[in-house]
Amino acid sequence: MQSLLDHPWPLGICTAIFLALCIEAGRYIADRSKIQEDSHRKDQMIALRDGLFVLVSLLMGFTLALAAARYSERRTLMIDESNAIGVAYLRAETLATPNSIQAQQLLRQYVDARLDEDGAGLDTTHAADANRRVKQLQEQLWQGSVDATKTDRSAVANAYVSALTQVIDLHEKRVASFENRVPLSVWLLIFAVSAIAVFNRGLTLARRFWLTVLLAPLTIAITVTLIADLDTPSSGFIRIDQRPMLRLRAEIHDQP
């Protein structure tokens, strides 16, 4: 289930097919149980159907707002991280010459490693290797800052250490934000309520009409696809814009 949520568009197709089958199953049962011939039973099913679709709409709206907020948070953290790296790079210039050159070289490699980490997508091996490289560079940068402050206790050195600390903190926040997904229990609730709603819709159909069978599952499937795409930072069509980090890489690599 979790792996399917990482592929929004196949998930949407599977959802549409599954819900269309649920409508067909409801219509088949309605024919066998003669629901259409009993006006009281039919009225009860119609009232239940309308209430279930209201519940589906509320669940979809809540989950879409949740996924959109987390997407916005990831984008904000990416911008903050690129700004923090840029500040750390500028402050590294104020260190003593050997430490300054080493820190700037490591920060250039760090930006490349961060872009590589974000571009790994669903390739877990590539992502793990990139994350390991990022951690190694963080350790080297921190060790360099420790060595620099041993001989330079000025406010300038402290400012660089503060900027580097923020870079490391923001990386951890970004990793946590990528792991912060819509809970599986919420997805299961959406699929369960949607299946019950469209099944009930099938129970109220007097006869099969392809447009009726198609529209409700397709609408729900499109919404599910959009939510999953927003909630999946490593795949899909809606991705975090990496231009701030790419501009930073171009700027610091162009400097001598």
pLDDT at position 1: 56
Say whether pLDDT at 79 is over 90.
yes
pLDDT at position 245: 92
Phi, psi of 204 (to 5 degrees): -95, 0
Calpha distance 158→162 (Å, rounded): 6
Question: For residue 239, how many other CB atoms are within 10 A of its CB?
Answer: 16
Domain count for the chain, please give it.
Answer: 1
Q: Which long-range contacts link 169-177 to residues 24+ away (Cβ below 8 Å)?
A: 170/77, 170/80, 170/81, 170/84, 171/81, 171/114, 171/134, 171/138, 173/77, 174/74, 174/77, 174/78, 174/81, 175/131, 177/70, 177/73, 177/74, 177/77, 177/233
pLDDT digits (tens, 9 = 90+) for 142-174: 998 888 777 767 787 889 899 999 999 999 999
Give 98's pLDDT tier (boundaries 50, 70, 90). Answer: confident
HSE of 211 in the Cβ direction (CA atoms, 13 Å)?
0
pTM of the model: 0.85
Domain containing 53: what range?
A: 2-254
Nearest CA to 229 out of 219, 221, 237, 217 is that of 237
Check: CB of residue 195 under 8 Å from CB of residue 21. Answer: no
Say whether pLDDT at 37 is over 70.
no
Check: CB of residue 59 under 8 Å from CB of residue 222. Answer: no
Q: Which helix (H) or strand (E) holds 34?
A: none
pLDDT at position 36: 67
CA–centroid distance for 56 within its chain: 22
CA–centroid distance for 155 within its chain: 39
Total residues found in the chain within this entry: 256
Q: Please, what is the average pLDDT of the chain?
A: 87
For residue 202, count CB atoms less than 10 angstroms from its CB and return exposed for 0-12, middle for 13-18, buried for 19 or more: buried
